[in-house]
Amino acid sequence: MKMWSGRFRKPLDPAFEKWQRSFGFDHRLLAYEVEASGAHARGLKSAGILTSDELISILKGLEEIGKRGAEDTNFLEDDEAEDVHHFVEKQLVAILGDTGYKLHSGRSRNEQIATDLRLFVRATIDQLTTEISEWLTVLLERAERAGNSAMPAYTHLQRAEPVLVAHWLLAYLEMFLRDAGRIADCRKRLNECPLGSGAVAGATLTLDRRTMARDLEFDRPTLNSMDATSDRDFVLEFANSLSMIGIHLSRWAEEMILFSTQEFNFVQLPESYSTGSSAMPQKKNADLLELTRAKAARLIGNSTALTVTLKGLPLAYNKDLQEMQVPLFEAADTLLFLFPLIVGFMNEVEFNYERMQAAAESSFMNAWAAATYLVQHGVPFRLAHEQIGKAVQIAIEKHCELQDLSLDELRELNPAFAQDFYSCLTLQSVLEIHDVPGGTAPRRVKHAIADAKLRLASLREEIHANA
């Protein structure tokens, strides 16, 4: 039986009927639908609508439906169910007869879908946070293993200054820690229970909303029925955070692709995460990284589709909202599948420390440090900059580095140059002068690693607390 056929004289056009159904995708909300329906059933019992016996049989029926749904995919083949809510009602009636129809007393699918989606996003945030913490763990491990190895840092993709390899990896760690924070914020805001909001104006029975909310581990009931049934800002917030994660992953992937080229040769791609060419026998291609870069585009697409769907919808529920499920599921799956792969990749990728170090020691990346030497001797920075610029020009002409210029050559530019200038130009001292919190001086990076460990530990505690 349909959930709404009474007022209709004619059946639906069969093609339209099929087309408007959502069960083909919202069946993945079954576990949440069952859970939320249990809370509603208990609410109905407290409101005197269900007897104890009816409640017990409805809860049993729901449990069975949930179990079959999890174990048997054939169970979910249903050409009649309009959506997951209709499916559960149909199944319940198949088990209990007309008592099954009592479950829908005082509720609307509009509050149900809002509740199911909040439960889905909350659970996905928890899963994803675990995945991110694994990723952060491997980034941190690689940073520690890199010790004091150096590499060039780039601005405008031109060699700029040397940094520790660990410092570079920790830059990504910061991004993903913020991403974890963003979805944790989203979790806090979405954790309110729409049950009892009805179709738009609130339930028509006096249901104990606080108990239903507590039952589903929500912090509290939502405060406005129109908002609760029609907003999906939590979906947008979540999907936007996911596209941010995609952007971070894509930048990481792009750097790894560049660094794995013969031109850079900083990293060796792991064979287990690369593919070959059907034509060119010598090729080893960075497919995992390239697909990661492209997945970011998909994530941005999903979050754009969600944003545009919600924009312009009058209050309250509109069927347009049904279209928000697929992009949401797709975005969640994209990252849930991707993270374990890049963790595996990051465990295996090899860094060519010697190449990186050699690159860090050339191309005048000590020029700013050289200008700083003059500043320490009282030279105004702009003039020091100009004079070191001249020194660089001379060195380029002579095909050498700054440290290969003689004191006489340097003194022509500024008499302040002395023998100790050369010790300021070594890679070690160039790294060391970046001695500020957040800088790449080795002692600062050591501190940053220790600090990252603490923050990762508290993220793990958070995961534990929500489990």
Tokens of 14: 């069969």
Q: Which is nearer to ligand ARG, 1 or 297 (CB)?
A: 1
Residues comprising the chain, all counted: 467
Q: Which stretch in 148-156, 318-326, 383-391, 444-452 sits in contact with ligand ARG by CB under 6 A?
A: 318-326
| Residue (3 or 59) nearer to ligand ARG, CB | 3
Q: Which of 37, 91, 110, 129 binds ligand ARG (CB under 6 A)?
A: 110
Token digits of residue 376 = 């320490």
Q: How far is the CB of 310 from ligand ARG (least distance, A)?
A: 13
| Total binding residues toward ligand ARG, as defined by CB under 6 A | 10
How many C-alpha atoms does 448 have within 13 Å on its Cβ side?
28
Q: Which stretch binds ligand ARG (CB under 6 A): 122-130, 262-270, 319-327, 354-362?
A: 319-327
- Residue 172 or 317: the one with the smaller Cβ distance to ligand ARG is 317
In the complex, minimum distance from the CB of residue 231 to ligand ARG, in angstroms, rounded to a whole number = 13
Binding ligand ARG (rule: CB under 6 A), the pick from 27, 107, 109, 209 is 109
Q: Which of 52, 156, 278, 399 is catalytic?
A: 156
**Stretch of residues binding ligand ARG (CB under 6 A), selected from 170-178, 245-253, 313-321, 416-424:** 313-321
What mask of x and - would describe binding to ligand ARG in positions 215 to 254, judged by CB under 6 A? ----------------------------------------
Question: Which of 322, 429 has the CB closer to ligand ARG?
Answer: 322
**Quick one: which of 33, 83, 89, 237 contacts ligand ARG (CB under 6 A)?**
83
Active-site residue, from 5, 272, 277, 423: 277
Radius of gyration of the CA atoms of the chain, in A:
30
Which lies closer to ligand ARG via its Cβ, residue 109 or residue 118? 109
Closest CA to 109 of 2, 209, 233: 2
Does 32 participate in binding ligand ARG (rule CB under 6 A)? no
Q: Is 277 a catalytic residue?
A: yes
Query: CA-to-CA distance for 256 and 78, rounded, in angstroms?
Result: 46
Instruction: Give the one residue of 39, 113, 257, 448 binding ligand ARG; rule: CB under 6 A.
Output: 113
**Single residue of 322, 363, 372, 403 touching ligand ARG by CB under 6 A:** 322
Kindly state the tokens that stand for 204. Answer: 């028509």
Residue 111 sits in the site that holds ligand ARG (CB under 6 A): no
Query: Does residue 22 interact with ligand ARG by CB under 6 A?
Result: yes
CB of 26 to ligand ARG, least distance (A): 6
Among 321, 335, 338, 384, binds ligand ARG (CB under 6 A): 321
CB of 317 to ligand ARG, least distance (A): 6
| Comparison of 326 and 463: residue with beta carbon closer to ligand ARG | 326
Which of the ranges 109-117, 166-174, 227-235, 368-376 carries the binding residues for ligand ARG, by CB under 6 A?
109-117
Decide if residue 90 touches ligand ARG (CB under 6 A). no
377 flagged as catalytic: no
If the CB atoms of residues 83 and 237 are measured against ligand ARG, the closer one turns out to be 83
Shortest distance, CB of residue 18 to ligand ARG, whole angstroms?
14
Are the beta carbons of 206 and 120 closer than 8 angstroms?
no
Active site residues: 156, 277
Which residues sit at the interface with ligand ARG, rule CB under 6 A?
Answer: 22, 26, 83, 109-110, 113, 317, 319, 321-322
